Amino acid sequence: MTEHASAATRNDLTFRGREGLQTTGAQAGNRFFVESGPATDELIRLEQIRKVYDSGENAVEALRGVDMAISRGEFVSIIGPSGSGKSTLMHILGCLDGPSSGSYWLDGQDVAALPSSALARIRNQKIGFVFQTFNLLPRATVLKNVELPMLYAGIGRDERRERALAALELVGLSPRAKHRPNELSGGQRQRVAVARALVNKPTLILADEPTGNLDTKTGSEIISIFEDLALHGETIILVTHDPVIADRTHRRIRIVDGLIVQGHEAEG
């Protein structure tokens, strides 16, 4: 186990991995990881998802009938060339956009046709996002940045602070809690973004090119954090153009011209 997972155990977090093993801390409020069932439990199912932008002669069909299933506890990469539909698929998976047609089942609920207010609640309660550009508030401290999703969720101040500090400990950044983003390296800022994605105990973590702005060594360290999270039962979908990064996930799903053409276990 890497130092990140060890730090999480020291911080009394609760883990439930793919084999059902669990380490329980003294305080239930410190639990971050979704208590997953067996790896065969289906978390996501897409059925004939299509997305069309504009209409008439200018219509662009970004997704052309995507079928896909992802189990709880999987660490999956979505790969493909520029313009293949990766970002559109990620936006739909993250409930940032809806499909033109088809069904998207997330944690047993068909969310494809939900109104924007319902999608906003799902994003806050069930999905943690990690983006290429970090998306941190420049004038807020690291601690306040990590607390932000919990503020929107109506969680009290003391619990926000406790859970934010625990998440920062998990990614090795608790000593930087009072710093601001411009005082951190790119890799440290991405660690803050990972911590922020975890604090609402999401059902799903979506990472969109999370290493795109990082050098190779720092990017590898970020992927190591995701590997630790997956080891302890988190479901992670990562969009990347880097085959080396994709090879470190459990399964690769390749999309070309709006269609899935390949989905298999990562090699090596």
Its domain, for residue 152, covers 39-265
99-130 pLDDT, tens digit per residue, is 999 999 999 999 998 999 999 999 988 999 99
Distance CA 10, CA 26 (A): 11
Task: Indicate whether 31 belongs to any domain.
Answer: no
Task: Indicate whether 219 belongs to any domain.
Answer: yes
Q: Is 190 helix (H, G, I), strand (E, B) or coil?
A: helix
Task: Indicate whether 171 belongs to any domain.
Answer: yes
Q: Which of 14-18, 147-151, 164-168, 246-250 has the weakest average pLDDT? A: 14-18
178-231 pLDDT, tens digit per residue, is 999 999 999 999 999 999 999 999 999 999 999 999 999 999 999 999 999 999
Q: What is the pLDDT of residue 35?
A: 40
CATH number at residue 121: 3.40.50.300
Q: What is the pLDDT of residue 26?
A: 29
Distance CA 18, CA 233 (A): 6
Task: Indicate whether 256 belongs to any domain.
Answer: yes
Task: Indicate whether 187 belongs to any domain.
Answer: yes
Task: Indicate whether 52 belongs to any domain.
Answer: yes
* Cβ-contact 31, 9 below 8 angstroms: no
Provide the number of structural domains found in the chain.
1
Task: Indicate whether 257 belongs to any domain.
Answer: yes
Q: What is the pLDDT of residue 55?
A: 72
Task: Indicate whether 213 belongs to any domain.
Answer: yes
Distance CA 253, CA 261 (A): 8
Instruction: For residue 26, report the phi and psi dihedrals to the nearest 5 degrees.
Output: -70, -25
Higher pLDDT: 38 or 78? It is 78
Q: Which region, left, alpha or beta, applies to residue 53 given φ > 0 means left and ψ of -120 to 50 means alpha?
A: beta
CB neighbour list of residue 56: distance below 8 Å, 6 or more residues apart? none
Q: What is the pLDDT of residue 33?
A: 41
